[in-house]
Structure 1
Amino acid sequence: MTATEPILAVEDLGVHFSTESGDVHAVQGVSLSVAPGETLALVGESGSGKSTVALAAMGLLSPNATVTGSAVVDGHQVVGAGETALRALRGRTVSMVFQEPATALDPLTRVGAQIAEVIRNHRQVSAADAAARAVDLLRRVGIPAPEDRAKAFPFQLSGGQRQRVVIAMAIANEPALLIADEPTTALDVTVQAEILELLRALAADTGTGVLLVTHNMGVVADFADRVAVMLHGSIVETGGVEDVLLRPQHEYTERLLAAVPRLETAASAQDAAESATHRPDRRRLEVTEASPDRAPDGRPDTPPVVDLRDVSVTFGRGTRAVHALRGIDVQVHAGETVGLVGESGSGKSTAARVALGLVRPSAGSVRLFGSDLRRTRGRDRRALRSGIGVVLQDPVASLDPRMSVGECIAEPLAVHRRGTSSADRRRRVDEVLDAVRLPRALASRAPRELSGGQRQRVSLARALVLDPRLLVADEPTSALDVSVQEAVLEVLTELQGELGFACLFVSHDLAVVQQFAERVVVMRAGAVEEQGPTGSTLLHPTTDYTRRLLAAVPVPDPVVQRQRRADRLASLAAVTS
């Protein structure tokens, strides 16, 4: 292959799947290319065929897939190639970062050993050298204490840390082509920025081409050279990143960009206030003082639905003890959404699990619906839990693969004996499928047959099926494209208005939190860094940590994002100098 030839060349690619209900044409006539050192972003709604194109380029489609056309990687034809030839390519010439780390990591093998195995599969190195290289890779992707983390199992890491392990595995052999399917979905904004810098350096130093599959337009603006927009299995627009994001030609691209949540800053909020054409955010961003129904700190003057007071959580003992929470206070009131934000490992998900009664605090008190959760047992505890809906970060881990979608959604009804007949339960399943904008026909399908975004919406439907008083949402929109994310948040808003449930919203997407939450709690290293009304806290942060979080958020404007990245790197350089 010459330097002028693309590292990936896809020509007239077609993919259809044979299913019990007939053939499904997922990709039709797709042509694209990636040059050495170039990043092509493939964007579009969930189910548009983005991930199918990526899997076809790796030769990883399921046996019921029929592929036509051509996909050439570094001079090697993938379509029609045998498994032996494909195995030689994967991990060495082409690597992939999958959307869901739970599917890419062996739960029974330590993460360092998994990375070392990838290295030794393609390089003649000793076990000791591969293990040392694994530790170095963990350090490069920003995992703290990499020597210790290399000995950990995947379940002992946070969702963001697991995704960083997957990225370390993918870049272990410095491949010619890296296919990244939502590589930063599970990462907080500061680690996301660091990973993008790492991938950018990899492309520059080694000439690695990157096919980036993502729904995050901020990441596209920050990282991509070119953009291809997919709709219903076909490419409807392609061009340079500035042309597509700033001057879109197709009305579908315009709709996608209009749905992108945009982080407000103090300056942009002022500009918006002066602009008559500005589309207001769904939530009020300027709530900075007490109103008649709120206390001076922005909390409603009503008893909280969930009340964490001076809660600490410590895992392990002695020198191996991990202080996951350090005396935090968090309250959520009926009809209110409180956003928990912070870096991966800051304690956000642990705080949510304490509220659910899944983690017992080492100190402090937890009250749920006015009852002391630590003192509640048996039937009373079960009754309390029936008032909680949960959306977990990883939809694969929360849906039973042996059940149909409809059975997964209906399971809480059966567990808590809601609905007098199977017909009643089917009717309720149809209602919540409608609420999360999924066709009722999906009820008969298996979770594995759905896209990542569709599975996340099924998880949301399952959480809402009992009409909860409290919804605990751990990264509920992380797997959703921007238009579906907007629709789901609108649905949540409508249902919250109708049902009045409280929502504890755990997220690393500060733009979404800013639009969706009335109050925000910023966490760092297990402690509350600052909290208050969303407007005052995110528009006018009082701590350097919150300011750094906000500075790391990519915006969907390539020109503005280029300057934000330069400012951020200059600020980091000033701190370390």
Structure 2
Amino acid sequence: MSAKGGPEVGAPILDVTDLGVTFGTDTGDVAAVRGVSLAVRPGETLALVGESGSGKSTVALAAMGLLPGNARASGSATIAGTEVVGASDGTLAGLRGRTVSMVFQEPATALDPLTRIGSQVAEVIRNHRRVSAADARREAVELLRRVGIPDPERRASAYPFQLSGGQRQRVVIAMAIANEPALLIADEPTTALDVTVQAEILDLLRRLAAESGTGVLLVTHNMGVVADFADRVAVMLRGEIVETGDVEKVLLRPGHEYTRRLLGAVPRLVVDEPDPAHPNGSAAVGTEPVVDLRGVSVVFGRGRRAVRALDDVSIAVHPGETVGLVGESGSGKSTAARVALGLVAPSAGTVSLFGTDLRRARSRARRALRAGIGVVLQDPVASLDARMSVAQCVAEPLLIHRRGLSARERRDRVADALERVRLPRALADRAPRELSGGQRQRVSLARALVLEPRLLVADEPTSALDVSVQKTVLDVITDLQGELGFACLFVSHDLAVVQQFAQRVVVLRNGRIEEQGSTGSTLRRPETDYTRRLLAAVPVPDPVLQRQRRADRLAASAGPSA
């Protein structure tokens, strides 16, 4: 594949000079990007990193000409020599999908749920090239094969919901490369993926860039991904680039204090050191489990369409203890969490919550049991009602489970809950949309803990957050667990976070427990090949070490030579 529509060899395919972006709001203008200059050359990957609100995604959208109507751009951004800033809709339409393509973080929003996969890929082809429907269909199948979709002829007839998250992201990449773009902009392309799928997607993008000479602008908060994939790095802070350079220089010898702080917040997987004392303390020895799954199986559907999501799974979480559930997508992690919450009834086995068998609990008793559970989900935007204020969101559990409280008592409890998660009381009257991602997640945490629950279930609560905000949220949970003594069932695909946060870990694979034990021993001395593969797929924020880890992983997956 050759980059089409590109400039002469060696010249930047993306050239941004003194870019500024200002958003007009009801309270005045907000400068989101100020004086940004960067370049991406053919075959090169430039990583744009920084905290939420730093302006990195705004730069990417400006380069695509996709800024919203209330945005004003100044300066210059050229793609293959064509100016994007101030360009007409016709000019931009000619660039997008042909010369430049974009891969977004969430493939579910990029794919039409009502259109078959093959048709969506073929549509992208026919939008930019004069080919017959039959030829576009054949080319779509070949693209699906190229990005690693198994049985592409059959999968082309599938709908997005019939594919896994990793497969959907591969489809999005197939659409992005369908017309051989000279530039690929990837905005958090692996954030929602487990570590093995993430490694496969990065391998795929690396191979495609090498084969085609495509330049890549990678927007990410994952420093391990940067170390694994990028050639150069640009670090953004409050709308400006504060440091740029070769990936080894920036990650191993950062020159700016902000870059050092950012790297210092990255959770690092440790596999070759003695087990440290865990910062979260330990479970109450000899106490009855807060939640106890024994021999649990869950089967969805019937007959030939039946899917066994869990198979003879036993997990217990004690007061004051954090248990991490890890595994690939489809391993059963979230199903196990939903069983613990009483939201999914097991097909076999028993579930005990606070010493009560959920099968025998009547509706009123179940409601009382659920008052002792707090839940924090991955996406606070979806879990917080946009029509409510922050105070109303946090107070909602009190209205359901503590009906005897007066309005003043509710206000006091809400204020205390916000204070516990390190949010100022002044935020109580704001809408969730007016907060940053990290602030919204802490509002979700305040709501989960306002009843002072005995069990906190956290399902990927930090995967969409940048590293410094992630550290703040995890520190808050750790401090509150020490204060309130609740048990925590922590679902995550980030093994480094689990290693730092959980005392015990359960590794799930295809609905069964692959192995479990203390976090230190399981992640430092895994007993199974599957756990070792999971650990090998975790990228580390050291480019030199990561190159060696990638080589070892690829050699292991290739097996012994004939």
Whether these two folds match at TM > 0.5 is yes
Cα displacement string for residues 349-406 of structure 1 (whole angstroms, at most 9, x for unaligned residues) = 1111222222222222222222222333433222222222222233343233444444
**Gap change, CA 1:319 and 1:281, over 3 Å in 2:** same
Aligned-partner Cα distance in 2 for 1:107–1:445: 33
Match of 1:334 among 316, 319, 335: 319
Residue 117 of structure 1 is matched in structure 2 by 123
Whole-angstrom CA distance in 1 between matches of 2:488 and 2:149: 30
Amino acid at match of 1:460: L
1:98 aligns with 2:83: no
- 1:511 counterpart letter in structure 2: A
Alignment of 1:11-26 (within 5 A): 11-26=17-32
- The structure-2 alpha-carbon separation of the partners of 1:428 and 1:141, relative to structure 1 and needing over 3 Å to count, comes to farther
- Which residue of the partner structure matches residue 297 of structure 1? none
Shift of 1:132: 5.0
Question: How far apart are residue 335 of structure 1 and its match?
Answer: 1.3
The answer to whether the 8 A contact 2:395-2:410 is kept is: yes
2:234 aligns with: 228
Between 389-398 and 8-17, report the one with greater CA deviation: 389-398
**Distance in 2, Cα, partners of 1:334 & 1:5:** 60
Superposition RMSD in Å: 2.8
Q: Which residue of 2 aligns with 1:518?
A: 503
Aligned position for 2:486:
501
Whether the 8 Å CA contact 1:353–1:359 is kept in 2: the answer is yes
Question: Does the residue aligned with 1:522 lie in a helix, a strand or coil?
Answer: strand
Gaps in structure 1 of 5+ consecutive residues? 274-279, 285-290, 295-299
Q: CA deviation at 1:340?
A: 0.7
For residue 225 of structure 1, what is the amino acid of its counterpart? D
Shift of 1:428: 4.4
Correspondence 1:31 to 2:16: no
Tell me if the contact between 1:100 and 1:394 (Cα under 8 Å) persists in the aligned partners.
no
Q: Relative to structure 1, is the Cα distance of residues 363 and 520 closer, same or farther in structure 2, using a 3 angstrom cutoff?
A: same
Once the two structures are TM-superposed, the CA of residue 121 in structure 1 deviates from its matched residue by 2.5
**Deviation string, structure 1 residues 323-362 (Cα, Å, up to 9, x no partner):** 2111111111121111111111111111112222222222
Letter in 1 for 2:471: E
- Partner SS, residue 304 of structure 1: coil
Aligned residue among 549, 553, 561 for 2:546: 561
- Name the count of aligned residue pairs: 556
Q: Is the 8 A contact 2:438 2:473 kept in 1?
A: no
Map 1:166-565 onto structure 2 (within 5 A).
166-265=172-271, 267=272, 269-270=273-274, 282=279, 300-417=285-402, 420=405, 424-438=409-423, 443-448=428-433, 450-565=435-550
CA–CA separation in structure 2 for the residues paired with 1:360 and 1:340: 19
**Partner secondary structure for residue 313 of structure 1:** strand
Q: Does the C-alpha gap of structure 1 residues 139 and 308 become closer, same or farther in structure 2, counting only changes over 3 Å? A: farther
Q: Which amino acid aligns with 1:58?
A: M
- C-alpha distance in 2 between matches for 1:492 and 1:119: 48
SS in 2 for 1:480: coil
The answer to whether the aligner puts 1:50 opposite 2:56 as a matched pair is yes
Q: Which moved more, 1:160-169 or 1:249-258?
A: 160-169
| Residues 419/238 of structure 1: CA separation in 2 closer, same or farther (3 Å cut) | farther
Compared with structure 1, are the counterparts of its residues 467 and 93 closer, same or farther at alpha carbon in structure 2 (3 Å cutoff)? farther
* Whole-angstrom CA distance in 2 between matches of 1:158 and 1:426: 43
From the superposition, tell whether residues 125 and 319 of structure 1 become closer, same or farther in structure 2 (CA, over 3 Å).
farther
Q: Which amino acid aligns with 1:41?
A: A
The aligned residue for residue 73 of structure 2 is 67
Paired letter, 1:534: T
Q: Deviations over 1:33-89 (max 9, x none)?
A: 111111111111111111111111122222221221111122222212233332332
Contact persistence 1:6–1:74 (CA under 8 A): yes
Moved more, 84-93 or 109-118: 109-118
Once the two structures are TM-superposed, the CA of residue 422 in structure 1 deviates from its matched residue by 5.2
**Residue 3 of structure 2 corresponds to which residue in structure 1?**
none
Q: Matched residue of 1:230: which SS?
A: strand
Taking only the aligned residue pairs, the percentage that are identical comes to: 77
CA contact (8 A) 2:42 2:214 kept: yes
Normalising by structure 2, report the TM-score: 0.91
From the superposition, tell whether residues 128 and 514 of structure 1 become closer, same or farther in structure 2 (CA, over 3 Å): farther
CA–CA separation in structure 2 for the residues paired with 1:131 and 1:425: 59
Q: Is the 8 A contact 2:45 2:216 kept in 1?
A: yes
Cα distance between partner residues in 1 of 2:33 and 2:206: 29
Tell me the CA shift for residue 441 of structure 1: 5.4
